Amino acid sequence: MAKKVVIVGGVAGGASAATRLRRLDETMEIVLFERGEYISFATCGLPYYVGGVIAKRRSLLVQTPAVMKKRYNLDIRTMNEVRRILPAEKQVEVCDLRDGRTYLESYDYLILSPGAEPAVPDIPGINLPNVFTVRNVSDGDRLKEYIETEEPVSAVVVGGGFIGLEMAEALRLKGVAVTVVEADRQLMGVLDPEMAAIVQKYLQEKGVGVVLRDRLTALEGISRVEKLILESGREIPAEMVVLAIGVKPEVRLAVEAGLAIGVTGGIQVDEYMRTSDPFIYAVGDAVQVKHFVTGQAVLIPLAGPANRQGRLVADNIAASPVKYKGTLGTAIVKIMDLTVAVTGANEKTLKRAGIEHLACYTHPDNHAAYYPGSRQMSIKLLFSPGEGKILGAQVVGYQGVDKCIDVLATAIRAKMNVYDLQDLELAYAPPFSSAKSPVNMLGYVASNILRKEVEAVRWEQVEQLLAGSNVLVDVRTAKELEKNGAVAGALNIPLDELRDRLAEIPEDREVLTYCQAGQRSYIANRILRQKGYKVKNISGGYRSYLAQRMISPRKIN
């Protein structure tokens, strides 16, 4: 007898499961319920639709119900909401939203793909008509219509994560003055603070207001929002508000059905994506998964993992068992001209997990510097002491960021170490990369630290080290100092003059060297070490100093 599978929710996870099931079994009965009008749409494209980059609304509709039904022979029921799961009877209770009719549907296996809903604070004024969330096509329609008809001059985006900053860009494209309000001490919580500072500086240079460490407490206005009230008492006038505080997993159905909920608040699943009921699977933004690097339980609401989970569940139902090995959290965002990407664990996560680690920074050009148009990127690599296992990476730049983060994500998944990065044979031609690619350079820098060819310190350590009578040496040229600035109290000896000016450096004091990005100071370290000096290299150079100064402006100043 053919199996019957019921799927709750479409978009990434549910739609992927449905189509994979059909490819595996032509006889299976597959019913997909979607409470909205659209079965598969590009949620990640909504900010670009609002901003006008994606001109046609239909471009967001990945698959229509009619096309999917015909191609895959699926029973697709849009505008049908599953209200209740009856596990003992292996049935779901469904409401047809068009006529209010309620009915029961049986299943052999049930796949939950309810997704996540925007976090909306319970504060005064939150339901005023010019307050928006960004979750589905209808949300995008509301936003786009309001901007085009009301022509707002100012907007506040509440939340400085991926969606918040994408929406800030979309609004700027429409000529709206934007302020981003973030309750945390930094933008983009997936980044470590010194990397997030680069993003903050860029936004402010582009005219986007940034308010940190302040929480929204109320929205004031008579018929629509006119100003925001923050916890500090600060008031910000605005003609529209976009809530991008984050998302929370939709678990009501699971909770009411008695399914286990994990410590993160997501649906608890095993390595096969099974819930606590062996006939019910769950995928996507609503599930708690294992982090690939730390092994800890996490919520990672991304389309890529949801698609893979949907496919995996289909295999587990209709083919041979497949284990889900965890999620890396690889993600990328475009913020005007800037690109920001992450993979693996950040330093905050590693510290919370008690995982020992080292960090290094590089600031390479995206392609050969002599070829026109090269732009610097900033990379932070996290790796384990000893074997140098790669734990995470963050990249901020203008070009080539996607290529760099994808290679590093692949390296983490393959359980490579920093020595392996040196050996990667990556495509090179002057318009695309350098003979030593940014990824190769990361391997060299990290392996130098592990081999103890250089002792690296970070800017947040420098203040304490200087208090112990260490001497700070800047090996950049005088022109660079004049153009870019310098650290107060540093002794300037350009690298090419270092051997002739050793007498200026006290032999009885530890030396801390830096340059603009880290390479020349490494060479200085090698020279000084072989001349008998005790020396440390400040990782990431002056570029990393500028980022650190934004976090701790009173330090090293």
For every residue of 326-374, DSSP letters joined together read: -B---EEEEETTEEEEEEE--HHHHHHHT---EEEEE--BSS-TTSTT-
How many other β-carbons are positioned within 10 Å of the β-carbon of residue 323?
11
CB 11 within 8 A of CB 115: yes
Torsion over CA: 464, 469, 470, 473 (sign): positive
DSSP 73: -
Strand partners, 92: 85, 105
Is 44 annotated as catalytic? Answer: yes
Q: What are phi and psi of 5, to 5 degrees?
A: -115, 130
- Cβ neighbours around 78 below 10 Å, total: 17
- Supply the Cα-derived Rg of the chain in whole angstroms: 27
**Would you say 87 and 107 are in contact if contact means Cβ atoms under 8 Å apart?**
no
Three state DSSP letters for 143-166: HHHHHHHHCCCEEEEECCCHHHHH
Q: CB within 8 A of 175, min separation 6: which ones?
A: none
Measure the CA–CA gap between 265 and 362, rounded to whole angstroms.
Answer: 37
As to burial, measured by CB atoms within 10 angstroms (0-12 exposed, 13-18 middle, 19+ buried), residue 99 is: exposed
| Cα 301 from Cα 285, distance rounded (Å) | 4
DSSP 429: -
Scan for tokens 């081999």, then name that residue: 451
154-165 burial code (b ≥16 CB/10 A, e <16): ebbbbbbbbbbb
513 to 262, 331, 364, 493, 526: CA distances (angstroms): 48, 34, 19, 10, 11
Distances from the Cα of 514 to the Cα of 419, 427, 465, 491, 518, angstroms? 24, 31, 14, 10, 6
Token pair listed for 282: 């769950």
Q: Is the dihedral of CA 147, 149, 151, 152 positive or negative?
A: negative
What is the phi-psi region of residue 223: left when phi exceeds 0, alpha when psi lies from -120 to 50, beta otherwise?
alpha
- What DSSP letter does each residue of 263-286 carry, written as one string? TTSSEE--TTSB-SSTTEEE-GGG
Pairing outcome for strands 511-514 and 61-63: unpaired
Q: Which of 44, 360, 404, 515 is catalytic?
A: 44
- Give the Cα separation of 438 and 374 in Å (integer): 13
Residues annotated catalytic, as ranges: 44
